[in-house]
Amino acid sequence: MTRHLFLCVILVLLSSASFVRAQSFGISTNVPSLALGNINIEPSIGLGPRLSLHLSMQARPFKYAIPMPTGMIHTLYNHKEFGSSERLGFSKVEHSENITFTPSFRYWTKGTYNRGIFFGVNGIASLYKFGSDKFDPNYSKGYYYGGGLSAGYSHELSKHWNIEVELGGSVIHTRYDLLSEKDVVISKDLARTLILPTRVSLSIVYVP
C-alpha cells in the first residue's frame, strides 16, 4: 500500500506539471492539525480564474495521545451502547499515527484565492494506526481511501496572506488488522466502509 500511495502522489504531481505557468499558486498549513502533532502542508496552484488544484499532505509518524470524544466515536462507528454521560465522554487515544494524502479541486465563487466561498471535490488515501482508549484498549492498523465534498471561506489578511476555514467529509473504504494494546494481532484483514470528517481546517495561506 505504501508503494500505491507514493505512486498516487507522483501521478497527481505529474498531471499538474502542465499548469506550472498558471498565474497564481499558494502554500498553506492547517494550524489546529499542526498543534495536534500532524506535520502538514498544502501546496496549491490556480488552474483558471475560478479553479485550483490542492495537494494536501500530512504525517504523524509517532504516538501522540490526543483527547477525543471517544464516547461519541464508539457510539457512531462501533455501535456500542453507552449511557448519556459515557456518550459525551472524552479520553486520550493512544494511537493516531498516519501518513495521509488528500488531493482536491476547488471552485472559487469570487475568483481563485480571493475573499469568498469555495467548494471542493476531494480524494483521500491514508496509512494509519488508530485507537486504544479507556472504552476499548484495542486499535486498528491499516489503510483507507475514498473521496468526498467540502466547502469553505477564504479571507484576505494582507497582500500575500489569507486565512481559510474548510469543512467536509468523505466516504472511505478501509482494510485493517485489529491489534491489542500489547500489539498482538486479534483479527486480520477486516474491511469497513465509513463516512468520516476528512476536511476540517483553519489554515494560514501564503500567496506569492
Q: Give me the number of domains the chain comprises.
A: 1
- In contact, 143 and 174? CB cutoff 8 Å: yes
E-state strands within the chain: 25-30, 39-46, 51-60, 66-68, 91-93, 98-108, 116-131, 139-156, 161-179, 185-206
Residue range of the domain that includes 123: 2-206
Predicted confidence (pLDDT) per residue in 76-85, tens digit: 998 888 888 8
**pLDDT (0 to 100) of residue 6:** 46
Q: What is the pLDDT of residue 84?
A: 84
Phi, psi of 84 (to 5 degrees): -60, -40
Examine the pLDDT at 99 and tell me if it is beyond 70.
yes
DSSP code for 91? E
Give the CATH number, domain containing residue 123: 2.40.160.20
* Mean residue pLDDT across the chain: 90
| pLDDT surpassing 60 at residue 163 | yes
Rounded percentage of the chain residues whose pLDDT exceeds 90: 80
CB atoms within 10 A of CB 58: 20
Please compute the mean of the pLDDT values over residues 109-117 and round it to a whole number. 95
Q: What average pLDDT does this structure show over 47-69?
A: 94
The pTM assigned to this predicted structure is 0.84
Handedness of CA 128, 134, 135, 136 (dihedral sign): positive
Q: Which residues 6+ apart lie within 8 Å of 92 measured at CB?
A: 65, 66, 67, 68, 133, 134
